[in-house]
Each structure stands twice: as C-alpha cells, then as structure tokens.
Amino acid sequence: GGWLLQLTRKYQLHESLSLTPAEAFENTDTKLLAEWLQDERVTKDNTLILVNLDYPLPEGYEADLEEYNGAKMHPLMVQNYIAMRDTVQQKTGVRIYVSSDFRTAEKQAELLEYYGPDRAAPVGCSEHEAGLSLDVYAPKHASYSFLNSPAGRMVNRICHEYGFIIRYEIDKTEVTGFDYEPWHLRYVGAPHAELIAKSGLAYEEYIASITPETWYAYENYRILRTNNIEEITLPANFISCHISPDNTGYYIVTVEL
C-alpha cells in the first residue's frame, strides 16, 4: 500500500553514520559515582535500558513517571513529545495523540492473555512497562495506516530530532523479536536517537556496536559503555553527563562537551 512506498523513501534517508573512537581527554577528573551525582550536571536514570525478549526488565524495576494529558511517561519524554507533536501539527495540520503509554505488569498480562504471544510481549518484556514508550496515532489513522497520514509519515521522519526512535523497524524483526510498528516510539534521548535513526541500526545493534571501555565521539558528545561506574573519569570541563544502565550488564555514559 501507500505506506510501503513512504517506507522506501524513508530508507533512502539512511546515511552512513557511526560513532568514531575519541581522542584521549587532555584534562580529566576522576570521582566516585556518589560524588559525581552531587554535581548538578550529572544525572543517572534508566532511559537507555534495552528491553526485549532476551533482556526483560530487572526484578523490582520501578518506572519513573510523569503524567501529561492522562498519559504516563518518563519525565524527560514529556517536553520532547509536546515539541514533536506541535511541530508535526504545525507542518501537516494534523494532530497526533497517544493511544498507549505506561503499562503495569498486570495490564501487560491482560494484553498477553487477550492478544496472545504473537501480538503482545510477555510480562517484563514490553518497553511500555519501562515507561519509555508511546504508541501514537492520527485521527482515522492508527496502526499501520498511521503512515497513510502525513502526520504519521512526519513522525517517522523526524522523531529522532526529539530523542525518540521507531523501535521496531520493518527490516529488524529478527533482531528485535517484534514485528514492524511504525506507531511505537521509544525514548533514548540525544544523541543516541539520531545515531540510531540515521545509521539504520536497531537498538540492539546500536548497543552492540559500542565496544566497552572505549570512548566514542559524535559531534560535541562523548559516549562510553562501561561495566564499572563506581569510579568515573570524565573530562575536566563538560556541559552535562548522563548515566544509564543498558540492561546487558553495562552502563552508557553520555557526556556533552
């Protein structure tokens, strides 16, 4: 149908984009994580966790949530979602809405029983339970027909500019374990959303592409994947530092210079 044609055009946007190993920092500062977290520039949350059939949510996981218009999502998503929605409406004349946001384990269990394992993830394996995903739609255009709406096509083209990725792409089912869902947005923040979208990698592939204990450079960002965050060495001068577990035994450290 029409959405397949749009998808073909979308994939022509993909360019060769990857992280490159960074040069060593000239001046550094080493502190314990607890000390770094006293610095207002340094934050730690769960926004980069991988959630799939192989990596369910950690036991005891509690989603960090803020409510907006009745939808519950991670606090960092709220302003980014509003900005994206408003841009899409301004440029297409069509407003998008949220059909599914945070889900409790109980709600996920209900969906699994109703839809079966082909259409619903097992409990603990849905990004909605993490509070990091939104399903969106345009009036009269939900599910796959989302791409028949100019708003749906624009969301798929620009969501990475607001920290979101289309988590389940059409050619990545074997990697993600889930069918194509052009309506399912996952928040990963900057610069990861842009790197993922423009490289054409699934989130699983993106994480695997970051060799542990190596600093990488992308524009004014520096990225490290490490399994030791008790003591962290950062550049002496930076704007912000974000730390998140990736749920595979490592943490991703994102520094903005």
Q: How far is CA 82 from CA 96, 128, 136, 210, in A?
A: 10, 18, 12, 31
Give pLDDT, residue 20: 87
Show the low-confidence residues of the chain (pLDDT under 50).
1, 5-6, 8-15
Q: Is the dihedral of CA 167, 18, 213, 76 positive or negative?
A: negative
Residue 49: exposed, middle, or buried by beta-carbon count in 10 A (0-12, 13-18, 19+)? buried
Place of tokens 């408003």: 86
Cis ω on the peptide bond leading into residue 245 (within 30° of 0)?
no
Report pLDDT for 46: 98
User: pLDDT by residue (tens digit) across 143-183?
Assistant: 999 999 999 999 999 999 999 999 999 999 999 999 999 99
Is there a contact between 235 and 222 (Cβ–Cβ < 8 Å)? Answer: yes
In the numeric block, which tokens belong to residue 175? 């990697």
What per-residue confidence (pLDDT) applies to 53? 95
Query: Which residues are registered as beta bridge partners of 232?
Result: 31
- The SS3 assignment for 208 reads helix
